[in-house]
Structure 1
Amino acid sequence: MTNETKINDGRKAELLATQVEHIDIKSFDARPIIDAMKKMSFTSRDTGRAAELYNMMLADQDCAVALVVAGSTSAGGCMDLYAELVRNNMVDMIVATGATIVDMDFFEGLGHKHYQANEVPDDDTLRSLYIDRIYDTYIDEVALQNVDHTIFEIAESLAPKAYSSRAFIREMGKYLVQHGKKENSLVKLAYEHDVPIFCPAFTDSSAGFGLVKHQVDSMKAGKPYLTIDSIADFRELTDIKIKAGTTGLMMIGGGVPKNFIQDTVVCAEILGHEVDVHKYAVQITVADVRDGACSSSTLQEAASWGKVSTAMEQMVFAEATSVMPLIASDAYHRGHWRNREKRAFAKLFND
């Protein structure tokens, strides 16, 4: 080992010294704050109404709740928050980016950590140290490659056929039950509570690297290999919408997950089913509406496509780690989840 390597090892340890600590929504009661914010204006009042709508979803005995997550809030400290929503029957299905599920939650489920970037040198220096950066958060690239290889191992253990992302993520949850190092993993808890997770762009994550390696190695050996079937994702999620009837959306960010869950209404109609639009909808985003992108298109706009109701929807233009802990803590302490039916939608499918 050269002196330069020793210096770099020390520098890497220095930069990865402060772990991100995920917020515990049970440790504080946000109800008084939310109640006060409802009497204010601007983003505070929007946040108060969003919390009110989420509580309405949980109190509505006919309503199935979808948690929809895009962006890096899991890495930024909301990972345990989302896990608690599953643990306490506050969501019935999840639609998310591959990064949220694989690079962040499964990553920590294997025992790895995210770190606060208390100092940000130039990114070429970070690259030389194998440190990946998400704004002010660091990830050890060596640890992330462990995720790639673990996904490869899971793929190698499965029958070579087409899997929806939901079916493959369920296998990831099963793996964490046996080999995981974190109790509060969203992937693990979703497996244990039969809450299906969908990643419509699943290979846009560490899963992609592991699955490509699985396919390449299988092709070289002349063996069949598994694939991820995104059409099956859409079909399965639409099946859940048809089964659920009344639905509510709690959306953090936008992009593909947002459009994917909203489109189930249209898809069900194409299949000949009469289904209601999503009755409740909350979206938390900082995206600008002027570019017309899916991430920023308002819920009112979605109503024109026959996807959501305009009666009970709320846009919150805020960075989600600043408001989602308040909304989730408020809902936890109001306790409507205690009387909810456990839907266990994962049991609809035979894997």
Structure 2
Amino acid sequence: MQHNVFTDNPTVPIDVKDRSLSEILDGMLKTGFQGRKLAESVQAWHNMVKEKNMTVLMGLSGAMVPAGMRRVISYMIRERMIDCLVSTGANMFHDCHEALGRKHYVGSHLANDEKLFEHGVDRIYDVFAVEDEFRVADNLIADFAEEIGEISCSSREFMHLLGKELVKRGAPEDSIVVSAYRHNVPIFIPALSDSSIGIGLTIARRRGLKLEIDQIKDVDEITQIVEKSGRTGVVYVGGGVPKNFIQQTEVIASILGMDIGGHDYAIQYTSDAPHWGGLSGCTFDEAVSWGKIAAQAKKVQVFVDATIALPIVAHALHEKCRETKRSAPVFDWEGPEGLDIAYEE
């Protein structure tokens, strides 16, 4: 009788017993559907951080900070589970908002939005925030920009300066921006103008300041990270601009004569579907056709609400990585030929 290779790996029903979260995820590797994919993402991420000469880039979209995910991301920065963050401007603005002592509030998606407007309250699905407090932060960013003066810089350089300012103001390290500043993890915001940070810089511009955020320098700098890294892995929370900004580095490097073969690991947590043709839901197999993801890469796409996935994944990695000594990249942006990268021994 011919051997049937399709039946070599039977599923194993998950049982209930005393065990750690990471052990539960390990058990889910033999189950099905998105539960298995979530477990596979933890396995792939753990393998990434164990590899030598590996740079892990994260794309962060959606309203993750208002939804309570900022400490998860800042933990991943401090523990170097990620080495470079590409975010929407909104997430970083909301992080600064909380770092300065203000809050987001538990609300309801059933609230009367006209009444909320009358009370100066903004709604992000079931999370509330106070508009006047946001405007204080808008003006603070404008004032800070005026202190910097008339310079041209990448969003990475601007966020580094903003992190330094937050530290000076006593902001805690559970801030994403503060953690990135203290641990030399670059933050890129390729659509910075599309956020309250952009609003603050527009206020400064109306006051006469000529501070320019050089978004093409952003593209050059993150491409240098990918070109000069040993290997690269990507983790996308949602999709949108952060996802493509990281993806296109492989195309740019190829056009410039450095065919580095695509990212070596690719993980995504998304609630979007591929059949609408949008980037946020497109599969990593599709990205292989563009040369953005290596054909042999470990690819795990989890169709899940990221506010469910991130706390589970972070806690599982916290358990798994206790004994892992990470060989994290150290970025030197003042090298004679631009960026220099060395990996910690």
Whether 1:101 and 2:106 are equivalent positions in the alignment is no
Q: Counterparts of 2:97 and 2:63 in 1: how far apart (Å)?
A: 13
Structure 1 pair 230–163 and aligned structure 2 pair: CA distance change class (3 A): same
Which residue number corresponds to residue 249 of structure 1?
234
Q: Which amino acid aligns with 1:342?
A: A
Cα contact 1:194–1:346 (8 A) shared by 2: no
Once the two structures are superposed, residues 240-266 of structure 1 have per-residue CA deviations (whole angstroms, 9 ceiling, x without a partner) of: 111113100111000000000011011
Whether 1:76 and 2:67 are equivalent positions in the alignment is yes
Structure 1 pair 80–164 and aligned structure 2 pair: CA distance change class (3 A): same
Q: Counterparts of 2:172 and 2:292 in 1: how far apart (Å)?
A: 37
Q: Counterparts of 1:73 and 1:243 in 2: how far apart (Å)?
A: 30
What's the CA shift for 1:347?
4.0
What's the CA shift for 1:60?
0.8
Q: Which of 285, 306, 319 is equivalent to 1:333?
A: 319
Q: Structure 1 unaligned runs (5+)?
A: 1-27, 219-223
What's the CA shift for 1:37?
1.6
Which residue number corresponds to residue 9 of structure 1?
none
Q: Which of 220, 234, 259 is equivalent to 1:235?
A: 220
Q: Counterparts of 1:188 and 1:243 in 2: how far apart (Å)?
A: 25
Which residue number corresponds to residue 286 of structure 2?
301
What's the CA shift for 1:36?
2.0
Which residue number corresponds to residue 150 of structure 2?
160
Which residue number corresponds to residue 263 of structure 2?
278
Q: Counterparts of 1:348 and 1:271 in 2: how far apart (Å)?
A: 22
SS in 1 for 2:46: helix
Which residue number corresponds to residue 10 of structure 1?
none
Structure 1 pair 29–93 and aligned structure 2 pair: CA distance change class (3 A): farther
What's the CA shift for 1:304?
0.5
Which residue number corresponds to residue 9 of structure 2?
none
Which residue number corresponds to residue 314 of structure 1?
300
Q: Counterparts of 1:67 and 1:336 in 2: how far apart (Å)?
A: 21
Q: Counterparts of 2:322 and 2:253 in 1: how far apart (Å)?
A: 29
Q: Which amino acid aligns with 2:30?
A: K
Cα contact 2:171–2:178 (8 A) shared by 1: no
The count of corresponding residues between Structure 1 and Structure 2 is 318
Q: Structure 2 unaligned runs (5+)?
A: 1-18, 340-345
After the TM superposition, which of the residue ranges 184-193 and 224-233 deviates more from structure 2?
A: 224-233
Identity of aligned residues (%): 36
Task: Determine which structure has the larger strand proportion and give its number.
Answer: 2
TM-score by length of 2: 0.88
What's the CA shift for 1:157?
1.0
Q: Which of 29, 32, 35 is equivalent to 2:23?
A: 32
Cα contact 2:40–2:300 (8 A) shared by 1: yes
What's the CA shift for 1:89?
1.6
Which residue number corresponds to residue 61 of structure 1?
52
Q: Counterparts of 2:301 and 2:53 in 1: how far apart (Å)?
A: 23
Cα contact 2:231–2:264 (8 A) shared by 1: yes
SS in 1 for 2:115: helix
TM-score by length of 1: 0.86
Structure 1 pair 29–325 and aligned structure 2 pair: CA distance change class (3 A): farther
Once the two structures are superposed, residues 30-52 of structure 1 have per-residue CA deviations (whole angstroms, 9 ceiling, x without a partner) of: 21221122121111001011111
Cα contact 1:111–1:180 (8 A) shared by 2: no
SS in 2 for 1:279: strand
Indicate the structure whose relative CO is greater, using CA pairs within 8 Å and at least 6 residues apart: 1
Q: Counterparts of 1:109 and 1:87 in 2: how far apart (Å)?
A: 16
SS in 2 for 1:210: helix
Cα contact 2:180–2:187 (8 A) shared by 1: yes
What's the CA shift for 1:119?
7.1
Structure 1 pair 310–140 and aligned structure 2 pair: CA distance change class (3 A): farther
Structure 1 pair 337–106 and aligned structure 2 pair: CA distance change class (3 A): farther
Which residue number corresponds to residue 176 of structure 2?
186
Q: Counterparts of 2:224 and 2:34 in 1: how far apart (Å)?
A: 35
What's the CA shift for 1:337?
7.6
After the TM superposition, which of the residue ranges 84-93 and 265-274 deviates more from structure 2?
A: 265-274
Structure 1 pair 346–194 and aligned structure 2 pair: CA distance change class (3 A): farther
Once the two structures are superposed, residues 201-236 of structure 1 have per-residue CA deviations (whole angstroms, 9 ceiling, x without a partner) of: 011111111111111111xxxxx5111111010000
Which residue number corresponds to residue 22 of structure 1?
none
Which residue number corresponds to residue 275 of structure 2?
290
Once the two structures are superposed, residues 1-37 of structure 1 have per-residue CA deviations (whole angstroms, 9 ceiling, x without a partner) of: xxxxxxxxxxxxxxxxxxxxxxxxxxx9521221122
Cα contact 2:141–2:201 (8 A) shared by 1: yes
Q: Counterparts of 1:340 and 1:348 in 2: how far apart (Å)?
A: 24
Q: Counterparts of 1:338 and 1:148 in 2: how far apart (Å)?
A: 41
Q: Counterparts of 1:119 and 1:134 in 2: how far apart (Å)?
A: 8
Task: Determine which structure has the larger helix proportion and give its number.
Answer: 1
Which residue number corresponds to residue 44 of structure 1?
35
What's the CA shift for 1:272?
2.2
